[in-house]
Amino acid sequence: MNKAVKLSMIGLGAAAALFVAALIFFAFTFDLNDYKARISEVVQDETGRTLKFDGDLSLSFFPRIGVELGGLSLSNAEGFGKKPMVQTVSAHVSVRVLPLLSGQIQFDVLELDGLTLNLSRDEHGKSNWDDLVGHEDTGKAEASEDDGGFSLDVDGVKLTNSSLFWDDRKTDTKFILRGMNLVTGYSPEGTPFPVDMSLDFECSKPEAKGTLTLTGKSSLDLARRQYGHMATKISLAAKGAAIPGGEMDASLDLQSMLLDFNTERAKITGLTVSAYGATVNMDGTLEGITDGLKKLAAKVDVPSFDARETLRQMGVTATETADSKVLTKVGGTADLIYTPGQLHVKAVDAVLDDTTLSGRGRMKNAHGSSEYFARLALGSIDLDRYLPPDHEAKTGEAEKNGTDENVRIIDSALLRELDLDVETSAKAVRIDGVWLKNIKAISKARHGLVRLSPVSADLYGGKLSTGITVNAMTKYPKTDVIVGLDKVDVGALSQDALGDRSYDGLLNFNGAISCEGERLPVMLRSMNGKLSFHLANGVFPGVDLFSMAKETHESKNKKGTVESSKTDSTKFGSISGTGVITAGILRNRDLAVKAPGLRADGNGSVALPTRKLDYLLKVKLVPTSEGQGGKDSDDMFGVMVPIRVAGTIENPRYWVSITEYVKALGGAVIGTAGSVIKGVTGAIFGIGKALDRSSSNKTKE
| Cis peptide bond N-terminal to 63, omega within 30 | yes
Q: 380 pLDDT band (50/70/90 cuts)?
A: very high
Indicate whether 449 and 546 sit together in one domain. no
Q: What confidence score (pLDDT) does residue 112 get?
A: 84
pLDDT at residue 98 is higher than 70: no
Instruction: Give the closest residue to 348 by CA, choosing from 36, 679, 356.
Output: 356
Higher pLDDT among residues 20 and 321, named by residue:
321
Q: 159 pLDDT band (50/70/90 cuts)?
A: confident
pLDDT at residue 472 is higher than 60: yes
- Rounded to an integer, the average pLDDT of 228-234 is 92
Instruction: Give the closest residue to 163 by CA, choosing from 147, 181, 148, 150.
Output: 181
d(CA 597, CA 604): 24
- Strand 369-382 and strand 418-431: pairing? parallel
d(CA 200, CA 181): 10
Q: What is the DSSP letter of 630?
A: G
Contacts of 30 (CB under 8 A, 6+ apart): 59
Q: 235 pLDDT band (50/70/90 cuts)?
A: very high
Q: What confidence score (pLDDT) does residue 402 get?
A: 47
Indicate whether 534 and 488 sit together in one domain. no
Is 583 a domain residue?
yes
Give the tens place of pLDDT for each residue, 15-50: 555 545 555 545 555 566 777 788 888 888 888 888
Q: What angle do CA 207, 211, 213 make, to 5 degrees?
A: 140
- Rounded to an integer, the average pLDDT of 89-94 is 81
Total residue length of the chain: 701
**How many CB atoms are closer than 10 A to CB 375?**
13
Q: Are 349 and 400 in contact (CB under 8 A)?
A: no
d(CA 402, CA 247): 47
d(CA 518, CA 337): 36
- Rounded to an integer, the average pLDDT of 231-258 is 93
- Rounded to an integer, the average pLDDT of 683-701 is 36
Q: What is the DSSP letter of 317?
A: P
Alpha-carbon distances of 365 from 14, 370, 410, 416, 449, rounded to whole Å: 83, 5, 20, 14, 18
3-state secondary structure of 423: strand
Indicate whether 334 and 416 sit together in one domain. yes
- Rounded to an integer, the average pLDDT of 94-98 is 68
**Helix 658-666 with 545-554: angle, nearest 10 deg:** 80
- Strand 105-113 and strand 152-154: pairing? parallel
Indicate whether 363 and 426 sit together in one domain. yes
d(CA 239, CA 208): 6
| Cis peptide bond N-terminal to 454, omega within 30 | yes
d(CA 418, CA 27): 82
Q: Which domain holds residue 611?
A: 527-694
Indicate whether 598 and 511 sit together in one domain. no
Give 477: exposed, middle or buried? Use CB within 10 Å, 0-12, 13-18, 19+: buried
Indicate whether 504 and 552 sit together in one domain. no
d(CA 691, CA 686): 9
3-state secondary structure of 666: helix
Mean pLDDT of the chain: 79
Higher pLDDT among residues 691 and 318, named by residue:
318
pLDDT at residue 622 is higher than 70: no
Q: Are 54 and 71 in contact (CB under 8 A)?
A: yes
d(CA 461, CA 664): 42
Indicate whether 440 and 509 sit together in one domain. yes
Contacts of 457 (CB under 8 A, 6+ apart): 436, 437, 438, 439, 440, 463, 464
- Rounded to an integer, the average pLDDT of 392-397 is 56
DSSP string, 110-133: EEEES-EEEEEE-TTS-BTTHHHH
Of the ranges 64-78, 183-197, 210-224, 549-563, which one carries the lowest mean pLDDT score? 549-563
Q: 674 pLDDT band (50/70/90 cuts)?
A: very low
Is 675 a domain residue?
yes
Q: Could you say which of 461, 495, 518 is where a domain stops?
A: 518
| Amino acid in the structure at residue 137 | D
Indicate whether 356 and 448 sit together in one domain. yes
3-class DSSP string for 289-310: CCCCCCEEEEEEEEEEECHHHH
3-state secondary structure of 34: helix
Q: Could you say which of 488, 518, 548 is where a domain stops?
A: 518
d(CA 518, CA 448): 13
Is 359 a domain residue?
yes
Indicate whether 326 and 353 sit together in one domain. yes
Percentage of residues in the chain having pLDDT higher than 70? 71
Q: What confidence score (pLDDT) does residue 49 get?
A: 87
Q: What is the DSSP letter of 420?
A: E
- Rounded to an integer, the average pLDDT of 192-211 is 88
Is 368 a domain residue?
yes
pLDDT at residue 87 is higher than 80: yes
Is 625 a domain residue?
yes
Q: What confidence score (pLDDT) does residue 435 get?
A: 95
**How many CB atoms are closer than 10 A to CB 238?**
19
Q: Residue 10 is inside which H or E element, if any?
A: helix 3-29
**CA-based torsion, 162, 167, 168, 171: positive or negative:** positive
Q: Are 312 and 377 in contact (CB under 8 A)?
A: no
Q: What angle do CA 35, 37, 41 make, to 5 degrees?
A: 115
Indicate whether 436 and 490 sit together in one domain. yes
Q: What confidence score (pLDDT) does residue 45 get?
A: 85
Indicate whether 513 and 577 sit together in one domain. no
DSSP string, 428-462: EEEETTEEEEEEEEEEEEETTEEEEEEEEEEETTE
Higher pLDDT among residues 576 and 548, named by residue:
576
Contacts of 253 (CB under 8 A, 6+ apart): 232, 233, 234, 270, 271, 272
pTM passes above 0.85: no
3-state secondary structure of 78: coil
pLDDT at residue 682 is higher than 50: no
Q: What confidence score (pLDDT) does residue 601 get?
A: 87
Q: 490 pLDDT band (50/70/90 cuts)?
A: confident
Alpha-carbon distances of 66 from 91, 97, 377, 400, 420, rounded to whole Å: 11, 10, 70, 90, 71
- Highest mean pLDDT (candidates 151-160, 363-372, 479-488): 479-488
Give the tens place of pLDDT for each residue, 252-306: 999 999 999 889 999 999 999 999 999 999 999 999 988 889 999 999 999 999 9
Q: What confidence score (pLDDT) does residue 150 get?
A: 44
Alpha-carbon distances of 370 from 73, 121, 218, 297, 344, rounded to whole Å: 54, 34, 42, 21, 14
Q: 672 pLDDT band (50/70/90 cuts)?
A: very low
Q: 675 pLDDT band (50/70/90 cuts)?
A: very low
Q: What confidence score (pLDDT) does residue 56 get?
A: 76
Is 8 a domain residue?
no
Is 195 a domain residue?
no
pLDDT at residue 107 is higher than 80: no
Q: What confidence score (pLDDT) does residue 137 get?
A: 47
Instruction: Give the closest residue to 157 by CA, choosing from 185, 121, 124.
Output: 185
Q: Could you say which of 492, 518, 544 is where a domain stops?
A: 518
Is 623 a domain residue?
yes
Q: 618 pLDDT band (50/70/90 cuts)?
A: confident
Q: What confidence score (pLDDT) does residue 301 get?
A: 98
Q: 351 pLDDT band (50/70/90 cuts)?
A: very high
- Rounded to an integer, the average pLDDT of 352-368 is 90
CA atoms within a 13 Å half-sphere pointing along the CA-CB vector of 548: 32
Indicate whether 534 and 494 sit together in one domain. no
Q: What is the DSSP letter of 42?
A: H
Q: 569 pLDDT band (50/70/90 cuts)?
A: low
- Highest mean pLDDT (candidates 122-126, 301-305, 637-641, 690-694): 301-305
d(CA 343, CA 207): 31
Q: What confidence score (pLDDT) does residue 226 get?
A: 87
Instruction: Give the closest residue to 581 by CA, choosing from 523, 540, 534, 535.
Output: 523
pLDDT at residue 487 is higher than 70: yes
3-class DSSP string for 240-262: CCCCCCCEEEEEEEEEEEEEECC
| Amino acid in the structure at residue 308 | R
How many domains does the chain fold into?
2
Contacts of 620 (CB under 8 A, 6+ apart): 598, 599, 600, 633, 636, 638, 639, 640, 641
